[in-house]
């Protein structure tokens, strides 16, 4: 896993969704001699592979296969890890995305519920117990992986967009309060990244950011304690411009861009 040089060393790090995609890549990048990594995912084999790679790099790894919707277990595990190794970086990365067909936007209730349970409720259950402790220690960073779809809902994944709007708004709302106690909150809004999540979407490869590039952006943003990281810049500009034109035209442009 090559990438930019890591300048700021975090000693005790928790990452959710470390069994695949961005979470897996972030764990591998942050793995270093003596670093304590707490890795959470569902898929045991893939999580074991991530853990092994990180241990081979010298990290001390505790991993757990868990559905993060299990609130009690999740909070227990995180607080226990933190009691042993006071966490200085937590990355709430785990997420799910189900796409739907525009014109048939009524997603099944079960999908909407799961999307909000994982992408909103479970992120809050991951991050908030740590924020309290970081605030007392007056030290720490929390990273929330939202999405560029938080800037404007995307017709092919409405529930996902809504969950990412919600989580972005929530941490924007409380970010300033924690900053007063030297606790940094960074919200990450990527466009399409080349992971399993985007495999079924048939996205033109020119629209995709590589995992390595995405991880570089995230690590740089964390080190600069940026409140918000969005990439790539041209997608950020495009989706931000949608907000400046009449909504009806923006809706048509979005469907056109998606080829719908």
Ligand X SMILES: NC(=O)c1ccc[n+]([C@@H]2O[C@H](COP(=O)([O-])OP(=O)(O)OC[C@H]3O[C@@H](n4cnc5c(N)ncnc54)[C@H](OP(=O)(O)O)[C@@H]3O)[C@@H](O)[C@H]2O)c1
Judged by the rule CB under 6 A, the positions of this chain that interact with ligand X are: 17, 19-23, 41-43, 46, 67-69, 93-97, 118, 145, 147, 190, 192-193, 195-198
**Residue nearer to ligand X on the CB measure, 146 or 184:** 146
> How many other β-carbons are positioned within 10 Å of the β-carbon of residue 133?
17
**Residue nearer to ligand X on the CB measure, 68 or 183:** 68
Is the four-CA dihedral 253, 254, 259, 260 of positive or negative sign?
negative
**Residue nearer to ligand X on the CB measure, 95 or 158:** 95
Residue 195 CB, nearest approach to ligand X (Å):
3
Tokens standing for 24? 């897996």
Residues 6+ apart with CB under 8 A from 89: 10, 12, 13, 14, 30, 140, 141, 142, 143, 222
Residue 20 CB, nearest approach to ligand X (Å):
4
* Contact present, 69 and 43 (Cβ < 8 Å): no
Backbone angles phi, psi at 88, to 5 degrees: -105, -10
- Written as one string, the DSSP assignment of 90-135 is EEE--------BTTB----HHHHHHHHIIIIIHHHHHHHHHHHHHH
**Residue nearer to ligand X on the CB measure, 184 or 230:** 230
Q: Report d(CA 193, CA 171) in Å as an integer.
A: 22
Residue 61 CB, nearest approach to ligand X (Å):
15
Residue 196 CB, nearest approach to ligand X (Å):
4
**Residue nearer to ligand X on the CB measure, 15 or 176:** 15
Residue 247 CB, nearest approach to ligand X (Å):
23
**Residue nearer to ligand X on the CB measure, 99 or 198:** 198
Query: Cα 232–40–33 angle (5° rounding)?
Result: 85
* Contact present, 25 and 100 (Cβ < 8 Å): no
Residue 170 CB, nearest approach to ligand X (Å):
14
Is the four-CA dihedral 19, 11, 190, 245 of positive or negative sign?
positive
């Amino acid at each position: 896993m090559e990438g930019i040089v890591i300048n700021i060393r975090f000693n005790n790090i928790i990452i959710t969704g470390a069994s695949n995609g961005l979470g897996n890549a972030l764990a591998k990048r942050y793995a270093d001699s003596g670093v304590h990594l707490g890795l959470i995912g569902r898929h045991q084999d893939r999580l074991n592979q991530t853990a092994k790679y990180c241990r081979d790099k010298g990290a001390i790894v505790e991993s757990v296969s868990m559905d993060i919707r299990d609130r009690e277990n999740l909070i227990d595990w995180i607080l226990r890890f933190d009691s042993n190794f006071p966490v200085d970086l937590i990355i709430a990365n785990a997420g799910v995305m189900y796409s739907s067909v525009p014109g048939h936007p009524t997603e099944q209730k079960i999908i909407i519920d799961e999307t909000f349970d994982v992408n909103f409720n479970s992120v809050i259950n991951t991050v908030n117990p740590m924020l309290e402790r970081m605030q007392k220690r007056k030290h720490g960073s929390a990273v929330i992986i939202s999405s560029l779809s938080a800037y404007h809902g995307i017709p092919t994944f409405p529930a996902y967009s809504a969950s990412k709007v919600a989580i972005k708004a929530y941490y924007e709302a409380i970010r300033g309060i924690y900053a007063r106690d030297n606790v940094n909150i960074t919200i990450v809004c990527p466009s399409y990244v080349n992971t399993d999540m985007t495999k079924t979407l048939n996205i033109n490869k020119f629209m995709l950011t590589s995992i390595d590039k995405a991880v570089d952006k995230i690590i740089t943003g964390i080190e600069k304690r940026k409140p918000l990281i969005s990439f790539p810049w041209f997608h950020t500009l495009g989706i931000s411009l949608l907000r400046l034109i009449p909504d009806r035209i923006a809706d048509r442009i979005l469907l056109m861009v998606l080829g719908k």
